[in-house]
């Protein structure tokens, strides 16, 4: 079974700084998807960014970008120009594709990183 590890339980940075959240995963599959989700105090999980394993190019969404290292099974999230509204729990998640032979299981989440943006 696949596992997802987030080694930083909590991080705190000043507003406008850049912060990187780390995530490593373990799988024997070659085709899969990786996600970063944000969960603010409102509880709703919000998709931040998504990466397809077969794509070499790192995904970016405005101030959010990833550093995807497939061989190292690493998927870190970089937040540039951090804002107070970025304060939240951040979860890294993994999912097989339906056609990878790994089964149509759901998302496997890491334990999360609590990111605090200080004014």
Partner 1 sequence: KAGVTQTPRYLIKTRGQQVTLSCSPISGHRSVSWYQQTPGQGLQFLFEYFSETQRNKGNFPGRFSGRQFSNSRSEMNVSTLELGDSALYLCASSLRDGANYGYTFGSGTRLTVV
CB of 42: closest distance to partner 1 in angstroms? 7
Of positions 11, 13, 22, 50, contacts partner 1 by CB under 8 A: 50
For residue 91, with 0-12 CB atoms within 10 Å meaning exposed, 13-18 middle and 19 or more buried, which class applies?
A: buried
Question: Binding of partner 1 at residue 95 (CB under 8 A)?
Answer: yes
Question: Binding of partner 1 at residue 111 (CB under 8 A)?
Answer: yes
Indicate the DSSP class of residue 100: S
Question: Binding of partner 1 at residue 41 (CB under 8 A)?
Answer: no
**In this structure, are residues 69 and 59 in contact, taking their beta carbons and an 8 Å threshold?**
no
Nearer to partner 1, 13 or 97 (CB): 97
Question: Binding of partner 1 at residue 116 (CB under 8 A)?
Answer: no
Kind plus residue range of the DSSP H or E element containing 33:
strand 32-39
Question: Binding of partner 1 at residue 110 (CB under 8 A)?
Answer: yes
Question: Binding of partner 1 at residue 91 (CB under 8 A)?
Answer: yes
Question: Binding of partner 1 at residue 114 (CB under 8 A)?
Answer: no
Site for partner 1, rule CB under 8 A: 32-33, 37, 42-47, 50, 91, 93, 95-98, 103-112
């Amino acid at each position: 079974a696949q596992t997802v590890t987030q080694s930083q339980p909590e991080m705190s940075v000043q507003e406008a700084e850049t912060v990187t959240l780390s995530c490593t995963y373990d799988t024997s599959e070659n085709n899969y998807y990786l996600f970063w989700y944000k969960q603010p105090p409102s509880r709703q999980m919000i998709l931040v960014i998504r990466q397809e394993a077969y794509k070499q190019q790192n995904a970016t969404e405005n101030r959010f970008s990833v550093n995807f290292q497939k061989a190292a099974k690493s998927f870190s999230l970089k937040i540039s120009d951090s804002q107070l509204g970025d304060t939240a729990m951040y979860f890294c998640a993994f999912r097989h594709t339906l056609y990878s032979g790994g089964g149509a299981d759901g998302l496997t989440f890491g334990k999360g990183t609590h990111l605090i943006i200080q004014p």
